[in-house]
Amino acid sequence: MRPSGTLSSESLQAAVFDVLRHHRGRGHAIKLTGIIAELTIRGVLVGISTANAERRVRDAIHELRNQGDLICSVASSDGGYFIAADKAEVVEFVESEIQPRISDLAHTKTAILEAARRQFGDAAQMGLF
């Protein structure tokens, strides 16, 4: 449930995309705090706290990406979020940000399933598939 007075998820996604469309290419990346500040200047109430606002904007970006918007990010001191200017930026984002997460989750999955097999035996694992 969203706090009273804040935008719906769909409206927030549109507002976030409107901010990001002015940040095309890695050289024009905007930090999360910058997105929230821009939304606040526009009169958009994002969340009831900084942590809530950050989570809601990250969630909006996640949903926009799942809808096919080419929103990339760079996790560095000069990084932030941006709309990809070309395919090379998309590939760099996928290889540096997404692929490591996939690999980490795959490792976690394997470790948990192996621990379950050791603790509960092979029969318990059948229910996990």
Residue ranges covered by each domain of the chain: 1-85, 87-129
CATH no. for 1-85 = 1.10.10.10
Task: Report the mean per-residue pLDDT for the chain.
Answer: 90
Q: How confident is the model at residue 128 (pLDDT cuts 50, 70, 90)?
A: low
Amino acid identity of residue 121, one-letter, is: G
Residue 121 has pLDDT above 90, yes or no: no
Q: How confident is the model at residue 59 (pLDDT cuts 50, 70, 90)?
A: very high
> Residue 63: its pLDDT value, please?
97
Output the six-digit token pair for 99: 């692929």
Inter-axis angle of helices 9-20 and 32-41, nearest 10:
110
> Residue 98: its pLDDT value, please?
95
Q: Between 77 and 90, whose confidence is greater?
A: 90
Phi-psi region of 121 (alpha: psi -120 to 50; beta: other; left: phi over 0): left
